[in-house]
Structures are given as C-alpha cells and as structure tokens.
C-alpha cells in the first residue's frame, strides 16, 4: 500500500495532523491503537483554558477541527479572566467527552483523501536520510513520503497506583512498545516524562447540596469562527475544597506515593501537579480548590479537577471522602500516574520536522508537551508541513509575534523542555497582539493560501475586516472614538445601528480604539523582533569554524541549526556577545543567504 503521508496516533495531535494533510489534498493514512480511543479525553473533560483557549482559536483559524468539535459537544462554557484585559481572556468549555469523540471520529471518516486504520506502527523506514514507509506490528509495510508521529503518552506507557504498577496506556488501554526503538535508531534522544489524572466518582454518591455551583456564561461564546448555532449551557460544574484532614491523610502516606518513594523518577507537569505534590509544595495552605465536572450529559461519572494522584487505593478512598460533598463518594476509576517515552524537542526544526530525517514530523506529547490544546496546535502545524514537504514547498513557519502556536513551537525547538510543557499567556511576550479574538485576522488568509482554510472562512474574514474598518471610520468621523476610550463606555451605544455589524467586528473595533496606544507600542516591538527573524542563517553555516564564538555557542548552534538570528539569540548558551559575532559573520557572508530556509511573509 502507498500513501503520501502516514500519521501515527489518533489523539488530539494526530486528528488535526491527518485532517490538515488530507484537506490539503494528500492521500493520508491515520493509524490508531484502538478505534474506540480516537480523540480520547483521557484526563479532564474540557477544552480551552488560560492560554490554551488561544491555541484552540488559532487551530480553528487555520482550518482545524477542534473548535468546531467542542462547539458541537459543549456542556458548559465560560470565558476566563474577564476581570483583566482582552489579551488574557481565555475561553474554556466542558465537553461531553463521548460525544466529542464521536464528533471527531465522524470528521475523520467523512474526510476525502483520508483513511483510518486500527494498528500499531513499530518502525519508520528511511532511505538516504528520508522517510520511505512505516511497518506495523503485524508486518504490513506502507510506503509513504512523509510520516507524522503523534503517539501521546502511549510509548512504553506505565501506570502507577501506590505500590502497584504495570505496562499500560491511559484509561485501561494498551501501550505502544515498538516505536521507541525505531526513534532511537533514527537518532532521537529518548526521555521519560510523567503525568496523571484524578479519580472518577459515581454521580449518585455526590452530595451536590454541599457544593458551590459554577454556572456557565450567558450567552456562551463559540470557539470556532464558523459556528453559527447557539451554544447552550446544559450542566453546571461545582466547587469544593480540601481541608486539613485531607492533607494529613496524604502526608501520613507519602512514603507510599510513587513520586516520593523513588518509584517514579521522571519529570511531571509543574503547572498541573498531583495533590500530594501540592500539599508538600504549599504546606502553608489550609485548603486547595477542587472542581467537580461532568464527563457527559448522560454519564454517571464525574471528574475531580485538582486532585490528581498516584497514591494507593486505600488512601484514595480515605482522602476523597474527607472532601465536603464527597463524604460518601464511590470511586468508579482510581486516580493514577502514567510514565511514558518522549523525545528531546531540540531535535526538531520550527516546522516540527526532524532535523536528521527528511519527511519525518512529530507532534503532541511525544515532543514533551501536556494538554489536548498544545497537542492539536502541534498536530495541525506538523500536518501542514508534511503536506508541503510532499509538494516540495517551503515549510509553513509561525513565529512568536504571529501566533501562540509560534511561541509554543519556538520554545520547544529553541529552549527545549525538561518537564511537560504547558502553554500560558505569560509565555507570549506579544500577547496583547496575539489575542484569541483576532486569531482569524492573523492566520486565516495564510492558511487559505496553502489550501487548508476554506473559502467560507475567507468570506467571513473579509466581512469582519471590512466591517471593522467601517466602524472605526464612523467613530473617528463622529469623534466618538474619544468617548470609547473611557473605561466605562462600550461600543454598542455609540453606534447608530450596532446590529448591522457582526459581534466579531464590533469587538475588534472596540479593542483597537481602547488599546490604541498600547497596540502601537506592541507593533513597534514586533517590527523590531521581526527584523531579527528575517535575518535568515544559512542551513549549512559552519558554526564550529566561526572565530569569536564561544565553544558552548558553537556546539549549541551546530546542534540546533537555528533558522534565523532571532531564533539563535534565544538558544540557551548563546550569549548576546555570541549573537553580535554571528551578526558580523552573517554580514560578511550575505551571499550565503540563498541557502537559508525560505521565510514566508506573515501577511
């Protein structure tokens, strides 16, 4: 069998990678270990959140599926950080996790140029330094020109619950044990990371009267720029807290916790720690927030957000039952930690392609990230670039000033990560410009130009741009822009017929007027940063021979092969003095610029 592109793994990264490649017209095969686990929400039953909501909007603006899928399966929607400025407003929605899976699976099976198969890929074949095919555990060989590895937490997955441990994937699924050796043979450095999940609880055993209800926003805001139907809040979430009794039970049993007794030595997610880690790290806190979240509209299981653990079963029953509202709870699934193989992301370029193997791309948790949204963002970028590689076209690169996806990928490929990476708004230095409300203005035209975003997305984008200009012209002509700059004023009362314009256009005009001074300063900073990104470095620059560079800088530059002066300046171990030396060398060798990786104009 022969395909243009094979995608390995059908989690949130794999789904977006496969759909992107197929929508760009390439014959694509998507492999999954289990067809019942496509787009599985193995941990929290939600999409979005601080920083993560920005990624989902960007995936949607590029032509991805995650935003549309969550809009179709939302149980409750909330816009976070509304007491702060628009740069950090982040959408989050509770999902019916089973319906989300069905919705995404339907998208895969209805997509032209895309085939989906259950099976385990155990080897990636290459010739002359380029991908030629993949081999399954049953011996089938599939020829392809590019492959995208999206294996999540399945590579040599190992489950930990107290003293018990066994080989396994998330939620009782099987691990993938064959592909790691192939990745090592291809030159990748393998590391072990860890993540975890809370217990699930029988809803009939929760005393909801003792919990604080958390209602959704009215009206809910959709994730997708294509969503027209009204989204409904169909269920509430609930808030409760741990207490000193909870903490004492945990502290009394730390010697039985794998993270504390040495059974697990791999790095876990700093920003989503286990409850035992929180109790130790924040010993002065008398309580920690817990959110009770439904897993589905007709699902009897509820998720305890904020109480991940790998403590033994008897300890879990005891500690959960100290929480108000959970005194008589029945655990349907125990909390657990999972350890898995991932690569050193410094082995990738800014298109998520392997530096040493042409046509090989990696996306998601195999790159050392955490979260569905981070995975989807990498998946769509890897799928795009696999398709462009097959076309023999330059890669599609998103820089830090263009997208949160650009920040995510640049951090991974320039700085690397020693723990599961999580996106946060604080990581984006240009976050005032990289808002979730303008993701379509930043990205859709570029995605349309490469054949991913459809004509309907472009039509809506053009309407939004035109209406925004009309509103701002009206405000200036009537001198109402001055009034709008007052914090207490909003845009609708200042327009003669606000309903004539789309909500997106009114929102854009309001933000651009209210934050005009800040946006001008931000644009100046972006122009300065972009100048460094446009100074491309030759792909074969002889860093070891450049006089004046310190040895550490020579080694780091030679290993990572930065695409631009901007990326080189962000590599740990490359000092400002090294950057100055490199700039002098580059000016002397401008004739080498044709060997640099082509720069794609962000406009």
Q: Where are the domains of the chain?
A: 5-196+340-446, 200-337, 473-523, 535-595
Helix axes 372-390, 12-23, angle to 10 degrees: 30
Take residue 27 and report the two structure tokens written for it. 């014959």
Please give the CATH architecture assigned to the domain spanning 200-337: Beta Barrel (2.40)
Superfamily grouping for domain 5-196+340-446: FAD/NAD(P)-binding domain (3.50.50.60)
pLDDT of residue 332: 98
- For the segment 329-347, what is each residue's pLDDT rounded down to a tens digit? 999 999 999 999 999 999 9
pLDDT of residue 271: 78
Q: Is 5 helix (H, G, I), strand (E, B) or coil?
A: strand
**Among candidates 85, 43, 48, which has minimal Cα distance to 221?**
48
pLDDT of residue 530: 87
Rounded to whole angstroms, the Cα distance separating 11 from 389 reads 23
Rounded to whole angstroms, the Cα distance separating 367 from 378 reads 9
Q: Is the pLDDT of residue 601 over 50?
A: no
Report the share of the chain in percent with pLDDT over 70: 98
pLDDT of residue 591: 56
- For the segment 500-525, what is each residue's pLDDT rounded down to a tens digit? 999 999 999 999 999 999 999 999 98
Take residue 533 and report the two structure tokens written for it. 């990104």
Determine how many CB atoms are found less than 10 A away from the CB of residue 436: 26
Q: Where are the alpha helices (DSSP H) in 307-401?
A: 313-320, 372-390
pLDDT of residue 532: 87
pLDDT of residue 500: 96
- DSSP string over 409-447: HHIIIII--SS-B---GGG-TTTTTS-GGGHHHHHHHHH
Strands 158-161 and 336-343: antiparallel
C-alpha dihedral sign at 220, 423, 97, 379: positive
Range 492-506 burial, b when 16+ CB lie within 10 A, else e: eebbeeeeebeebbb
Q: Is the pLDDT of residue 153 over 70?
A: yes
Q: How far is CA 496 from CA 389, 492, 500, in A?
A: 51, 8, 9
Q: Which helix (H) or strand (E) holds 584?
A: helix 576-588
Take residue 142 and report the two structure tokens written for it. 């599939």
Say which residues have a Cβ less than 8 Å from residue 544's Cβ, sequence separation at least 6.
554, 555, 558
Cβ atoms of 75 and 295 within 8 Å: the answer is no
CATH number of 535-595, picked from 1.10.150.570, 3.40.50.1820, 3.30.70.890, 1.20.1260.10:
1.10.150.570
- DSSP string over 356-380: SSBTEEE-SGGGTB-SHHHHHHHHH
C-alpha dihedral sign at 411, 578, 602, 10: negative
Take residue 338 and report the two structure tokens written for it. 């999972």
Report the share of the chain in percent with pLDDT over 90: 92
Q: For the chain, what's the residue count?
A: 603
Determine how many CB atoms are found less than 10 A away from the CB of residue 228: 8
Q: Nearest 5°: phi and psi at 141?
A: -110, 125
Read off the pLDDT band of 319 (50, 70, 90): very high
pLDDT of residue 81: 95
Read off the pLDDT band of 266 (50, 70, 90): confident
Strands 331-333 and 301-305: unpaired
**Among candidates 3, 43, 98, which has minimal Cα distance to 375?**
43
pLDDT of residue 595: 45
- For the segment 550-559, what is each residue's pLDDT rounded down to a tens digit? 999 999 999 9
């Amino acid at each position: 069998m022969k395909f243009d592109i094979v995608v390995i793994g059908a989690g949130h990264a794999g789904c977006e990678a496969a759909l992107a490649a197929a929508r760009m017209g390439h014959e694509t095969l998507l492999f999954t270990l289990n067809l019942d686990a496509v787009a599985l929400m193995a941990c929290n039953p939600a999409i979005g959140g601080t920083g993560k909501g920005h990624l989902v909007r960007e995936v949607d603006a590029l032509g991805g599926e995650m935003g549309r899928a969550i809009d179709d399966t939302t149980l409750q929607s909330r816009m976070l950080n509304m007491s702060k400025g628009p740069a950090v407003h982040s959408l989050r929605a509770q999902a019916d996790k089973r319906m989300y899976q069905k919705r995404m699976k339907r998208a895969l099976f209805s997509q032209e140029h895309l085939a989906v198969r259950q099976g385990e890929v155990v080897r990636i074949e290459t010739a002359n330094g380029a991908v030629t095919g993949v081999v399954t555990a049953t011996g089938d060989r599939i020829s392809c020109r590019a492959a995208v590895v999206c294996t999540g937490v399945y590579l040599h997955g190992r489950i930990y619950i107290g003293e018990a441990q066994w080989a396994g994937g998330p939620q009782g699924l099987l691990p993938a044990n064959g592909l790691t050796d192939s990745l090592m043979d291809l030159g990748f450095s393998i590391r072990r990371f860890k993540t975890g999940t809370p217990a699930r609880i029988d809803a009939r055993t929760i005393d909801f009267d003792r919990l604080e209800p958390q209602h959704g926003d009215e009206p809910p805001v959709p994730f997708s720029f294509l969503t027209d139907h009204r989204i409904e809040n169909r269920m509430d979430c609930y808030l409760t807290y741990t207490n000193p009794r909870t903490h004492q039970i945990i502290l009394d049993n730390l010697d039985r916790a794998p993270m504390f007794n040495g059974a697990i030595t791999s790095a876990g997610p700093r920003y989503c720690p286990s409850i035992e880690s929180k109790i130790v790290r924040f010993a002065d806190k008398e309580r920690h927030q817990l959110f009770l979240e439904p897993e589905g509209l007709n699902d009897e299981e509820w998720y305890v957000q904020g109480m991940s653990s790998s403590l033994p079963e008897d300890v879990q029953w005891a500690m959960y039952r100290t929480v108000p509202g959970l005194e008589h709870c029945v655990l349907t699934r125990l909390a657990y930690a999972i350890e898995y193989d991932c690569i050193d992301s410094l082995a990738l370029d800014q298109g998520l392609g392997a530096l040493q193997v042409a046509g090989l791309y990696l996306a998601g948790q195999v790159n050392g990230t955490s979260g569905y949204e981070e995975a989807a963002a990498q998946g769509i970028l890897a799928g795009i670039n696999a398709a462009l590689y097959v076309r023999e076209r330059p890669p599609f690169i998103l820089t830090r000033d263009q997208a949160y996806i650009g920040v995510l990928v640049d951090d991974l490929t320039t700085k690397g990560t020693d723990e599961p990476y999580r996106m946060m708004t604080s990581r984006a230095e240009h976050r005032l410009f990289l808002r979730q409300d303008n993701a379509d203005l930043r990205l859709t035209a570029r995605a349309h130009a490469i054949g991913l975003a459809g004509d309907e997305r472009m039509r809506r984008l053009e309407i939004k741009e035109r209406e925004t200009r009309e509103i701002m012209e009206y405000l200036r002509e009537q001198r109402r822009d001055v009034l709008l700059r007052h914090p207490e004023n909003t845009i609708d009362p200042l327009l003669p017929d606000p309903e004539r314009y789309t909500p997106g256009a009114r929102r854009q005009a309001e933000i651009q007027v209210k934050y005009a001074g800040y946006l001008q300063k931000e644009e100046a900073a972006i122009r300065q940063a972009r100048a460094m990104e446009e100074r491309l470095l030759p792909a074969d620059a002889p860093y070891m021979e450049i006089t004046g560079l310190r040895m550490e800088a020579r080694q780091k530059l030679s290993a990572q092969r930065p695409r631009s002066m901007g990326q080189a300046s962000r590599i740990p171990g490359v000092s400002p003095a090294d950057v100055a030396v490199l700039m002098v060398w580059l000016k002397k060798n401008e004739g080498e610029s044709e060997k640099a990786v082509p720069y794609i104009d962000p406009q």
